[in-house]
Amino acid sequence: MELLWILIKIVIVFAVVMLHVMYATYFERKVIGHMQVRMGPMRVGPHGILQPIADGLKLFFKEDIIPAEADKKVFYAAPLICLISALSAVAVLPFFEGFAIANINIGLLYIFAMSSLASYGVVLAGWSANSKYSFLGGLRSSAQVISYEIAMGLSLVGVMMLSGSLNLTDIVHAQMNSPYKIYLIPQIIGFFVFVVAMFAETNRTPFDLPEAESELVAGYCTEYSGMRFALFFMAEYIGMIVMSCLAVTCFLGGWSGPFDVPGIPFFWFLLKAYFFIFLYYWVRATLPRYRYDQLMALGWKVLIPLALFNIVLTGTIKSLFG
């Protein structure tokens, strides 16, 4: 019975996440479109509402090109690694009270592990295609993800110290019992580091160097086409939702809100998560792109020291004032 319930949950979450990916692209194009004094998609359906379906169909029926010199097995596996690891990370997210597919003790660590695995897919994609631009993109990605993974992990140590747990549901509960109800205020430095690292971790502007289209054509996915390219695309958007949900869970109090909305237990969670997703789009429409060495300098010289300082500060305050 329990297994069945888990299976049902998996199906629901999978369907919702996939639907989200489709309409996140639409949302992004509309948001950025209006920021850039244009309409965004308007042709397919009223206000372009069916555009994601048209795009999906197009990608599905496109020719699947594999470079002759590519390492075929790795080339096939890379997008799958990306997508599967991104999807697996969704499993531990508590969308509302008592709803997480896997309510495991090390939820936070698990998400880190999965997001590192996704970058493994990117590196393999860049390397297996045997193309120079892909290779450079893969190299950039590995360097970027390693440095920002550290900053991100360190930024969440403060949250772990305050809540005393790695379980995401427990972290939300601990926040609800804390004086400010959310960790945003006591962990403001950690939050800042996390948000910056979040953009780098998902390869989004201003840290979209691995796929910088004006420099490396399309970076690691230059040689991919059709559905395989779409898999990378989906992985990126799922990565965005995972990171947004993680930020909501760890800093903004998860599903808790100023008042309960009857019938929609995930209302506040969704609202907060979409704020971060909107932030992704907003930043993309506003900022230029960092250079490779500047990105590394920012990660190692600014974010990691800040995160370490945050840990020291949190520890000191915690031990002094309980």
Partner 1 sequence: MLENKAQLRLVKGDEATHEPYTIAMGPQHPATHGVLKLDLELDGETVLECKPTVGFLHRGVEKLAENLSYAQTLPLTDRLDYIASMANNVAYSIAVEKLLDIEVPLRAKYIRTMVMEMARLTGHLLWLATHALDIGAMTVFLYCFREREILLDMFEEICGARLTTSYTCIGGVRQDVTGHFLESLYDFTEDFPSKIKEYETLIDKNRIWLKRTQDVGIVSAEDAVSLGLTGPTLRGSGVDYDVRKHMPYDAYPYVKFEVPIGSKGDVYDRYRCRMEEMHQSNSIIRQCIEALPTGPIRAADAPDLVMPYGIQKKVAADATFSSGIIKLVKDSERYIEGDVYVAAEVPKGELGFYFVSDGKGVPYRMHIRSPSYIHIGALSFLCKGQMVADVIAIIGSVDVVLGECDR
Contact footprint for partner 1 (CB under 8 A)? 32, 35-38, 132-133, 136, 205-206, 208-209, 212-217, 284-294
The least distance separating partner 1 from the CB of residue 286, rounded to whole angstroms, comes to: 7
Nearer to partner 1, 63 or 293 (CB): 293
Nearer to partner 1, 20 or 29 (CB): 29
Q: DSSP string of 2-27?
A: HHHHHHHHHHHHHHHHHHHHHHHHHH
Torsion angle (degrees, nearest 10) of CA 300, 235, 94, 113: -50
Q: Which of 160, 161, 117 minimizes the C-alpha distance to 141?
A: 117
Nearer to partner 1, 294 or 316 (CB): 294
The least distance separating partner 1 from the CB of residue 292, rounded to whole angstroms, comes to: 6
Nearer to partner 1, 233 or 251 (CB): 233
d(CA 3, CA 51): 37
Point out which residues pair with 99 in neighbouring strands: 96
The least distance separating partner 1 from the CB of residue 248, rounded to whole angstroms, comes to: 26
The least distance separating partner 1 from the CB of residue 290, rounded to whole angstroms, comes to: 6
Break the chain down into helix, strand, coil percent, rounded to 5.
70, 0, 30
Nearer to partner 1, 16 or 35 (CB): 35
d(CA 306, CA 297): 13
The least distance separating partner 1 from the CB of residue 272, rounded to whole angstroms, comes to: 26
